[in-house]
Chains A and B, each alone.
Chain A
Amino acid sequence: MTHTVLVTGSGGVGKTSLAAALAATAARRGLRTLVVTVDPARRLADALGADTLGNEPEQNPVEGNLWAAMLDASASWRAVAERHAEPDVAARLVNNEFFIAASEHFPASQAYAAADQAATYVEAGVWDLVVVDTPPSGGGIDFFTAPAQMADLVGGRLLRWITGGPLPGRRFFFDRAARPMLRLADTILGADLLERVAEFLLDLRTTYDGVARRGRQIEKVLKASSILVVATADPAPVGEAVRFYRELPALASTPAAVVFNRALPEDWANRNAEGKGAPAALVQNFQRWSAESLRQIDVRGEFSTRYRANVATVPWSSTPPTDVAGLIALLESASGIPWESLGIPQAQ
């Protein structure tokens, strides 16, 4: 049985590194582990031992229990078309200008692709643990709503908007003389634009059954997963974390913990730390960092009280990890990580 950990949080808080660190630690503790990342930094990709990360999981050359894969979201809509539409329709779709645009612009589509790919790894049953670094699009919450949104999109919501009624056949769009609003659209948008959009939407609708069925399978995987929310003590990431704690219980499950990254030692919060004979410049510098440590403690305390959240901290590391040992070291001095509920054995 594969356990799944979804690592969420806003961009720029070190989410990808922590997901990799969690996977490396689990691998070291004996679990066959796959980490699925989105767009890792160069150094992190190196640490995972993968020159060319792709949809195909690669085994780490140093740690044999660790595998890594990178989501390629751009290929996602193409996959939807090829998987769920008749071959001739699929071929027409992937070359359609609106299809190409929609795949780039509809944020839920990338989240859908990521969720679909992650669920595929989980269903393969090859790994004990799959750690997913969720893409930050739409605040990350998209990852959880994407299966339903996607089905809604291809299910003809747009078509119904266009027609204002039940789903039409193709003829509707060619009978434009009888439709003043289509004539109006022509003056404003230029000839035949709406018609081309409608063609695309009618093709897209044929994928509905497949997308809806797959969406339900993906949701099942997401609901059975453990969730970690990563943040720093800055206002924007905390705001995102609040949103996850409010919305995820209904969409999937209550997060196992919120992990505050870049945490300063709590004993720095005491401004009058021992420092006999320390140079004035260092004492002054310390007082700034002391204020920062105090602020972090306040933010964590308030979050924990208000959302009854398990709070974990990962110390501020000034040197980004460049290998598996570095990744594992990242979590060695962490506190409050709920290993058990993530399905990872405690350190010996």
Chain B
Amino acid sequence: MIDKRLVIVSGKGGTGKSAFAAGLALLAQRQGLRVLAAELGDGAGLSAHFGTGPLAFHPREVRPGLHAMHMVRSEALLEYLSIQLGVRTIARFGPFARAFDALATTAPGIREIITIGKLVWEVREDKWDIVVADAPPTGQIGSYLRAPQTINELVPSGRVQAQSEQMAAMLADHATTELVLMTLPEELPVAETREALTWLEKEKLAIGTTLVANRVLDELDSKATAAGPIGEAAVLHRRLHDEQRHWLERFPTDFQLPYLFGILTPGEVAAHISDELEARL
């Protein structure tokens, strides 16, 4: 995972994908890599885990060697127009930019291609050893990964089309790109992850996918019972563990991260995940 150039982290909402992305970025930074962590959604996930306050489009150094950015669509669009499509400055701020922005809201794949395009561009620029993306949830990740194809189907010619073929090639390259899908060992997250995975496989977009189960309880090392809260806690733990095992048996994951007890801040969560990843990778 850490030897890839681009790691895209997705998962059902509430499964801890931002924490995982932050933890992976922190680990890469500790190992001396030049890291870019990119928040793609509207949420403040990454910034909370880094404890930095709101992130901007322009990458900011949040730890030595670790930069973080937020994919602000309007700014990503302007950069896409100038750098990737070679549109001159004057056109970037006029009616053309407005038209393009309208298209980005309406036409399929444009918004997504701008986001994916920025990631691919950052990887190509060789400023970073690894780019970690805190990506939209499983419900939307398919339309991002499929964006280059969608554009090819929609726009039969033109400069956008030429760009999108390069992007598709990088996304399909297992040596470069990895997709991480986060889930929880519960009914709905498992169902949603399985559905997303099936779709990605059908579309041939399941780029070296790694499945991660988060908040997994260990098995209690005792069959004893006890009175009062100590006994009650054991009963709850065993029942939850059985329920989790039920789902993990039906949906095997590549690795599992432990439930964190009594952890207060997003920063602490990311630090724990980072340590956990270091022990596994």
Please report A residues at the B interface, Cβ cutoff 8 Å. Answer: 10-13, 41-43, 97-98, 101-102, 104-106, 136, 138-139, 158-159, 161-164, 181-182, 184-191, 193-194, 197, 200-201, 234-237, 239, 264-265, 267-268, 270, 273-275, 277-279, 281-283, 285-286, 288-292, 294-295, 298, 316, 318-320
Interface residues in B182-204 by Cβ distance below 8 A to A read 184, 187-189, 191
- Assuming the contacts A106-B105, A185-B100, A188-B87, asked whether A283 and B232 have C-beta atoms less than 8 A apart, the reply is no
Docked Cα-Cα span, A41 to B154, in Å, equals 36
Are the CB atoms of A275 and B228 closer together than 8 Å?
yes
- Residue in chain B with minimal CB distance to A11: B13
Q: Which of A138, A290, A316 has a CB less than 8 Å from the CB of B236?
A: A316
Let me know if B94 is at the binding interface, CB within 8 A.
yes
Chain A residue numbers with a CB within 8 Å of B161 are 190
* A285 partner residues in chain B, CB cutoff 8 A: 220, 233-234, 237
In the complex, the answer to whether A197 meets B106 with C-beta atoms within 8 Å is: yes
Which range contains the number of B residues in contact with the other chain? 35 or more
Interface centre among A13, A158, A295 (most CB of B within 10 A): A158
Tell me the interface secondary structure of chain A in the complex: helix
Q: Is B243 an interface residue (CB 8 A)?
A: yes
With A12-B12, A161-B101 known as contacts, the answer to whether A288 contacts B228 (CB < 8 A) is no
Contact across chains for A101 and B96 when beta carbons are under 8 A apart:
no
- In the complex, chain A residues whose CB is within 8 Å of the CB of B233: 268, 282, 285-286, 289-290
Q: Which residues of B contact A (CB under 8 A)?
A: 12-15, 18, 42-45, 48, 85, 87, 91, 94-96, 98-103, 105-109, 111, 137, 143, 154-161, 184, 187-189, 191, 220-222, 224, 226-234, 236-237, 239-240, 243, 261-266, 269
For the complex of A and B, 8 pairs with smallest distance between CB atoms: A291-B262, A12-B14, A101-B108, A318-B239, A190-B158, A281-B222, A11-B13, A278-B226
* A316 to B, closest residue via Cβ: B236
Q: Could you list 19 further interchain pairs (A-B, Cβ under 8 angstroms) beyond the known A184-B91, A190-B157?
A: A12-B188, A43-B187, A101-B109, A161-B99, A164-B95, A184-B96, A187-B158, A193-B155, A194-B99, A268-B232, A274-B227, A275-B226, A275-B230, A281-B224, A283-B230, A285-B237, A289-B233, A289-B261, A318-B243
- Tell me whether A189 and B160 are in contact (CB under 8 A): yes
Residue of B nearest to A204 (CB): B106
> What chain A residues lie within 8 Å of B227 (beta carbons)?
274-275, 278
Contact across chains for B229 and A268 when beta carbons are under 8 A apart: yes
Chain B contacts of A41 at CB under 8 A?
187-188, 191
Which residues on the A side are within 8 Å of B191 (C-beta)? 41-42
When distances are taken between beta carbons in the complex, the residues of chain A under 8 Å from B48 are 235, 239
Give Cα A335 to B265, complex, Å.
Answer: 26
Jot down 6 A-B pairs with beta carbons below 8 A, ordered by A.
Answer: A158-B105, A161-B101, A187-B159, A274-B227, A275-B226, A316-B236
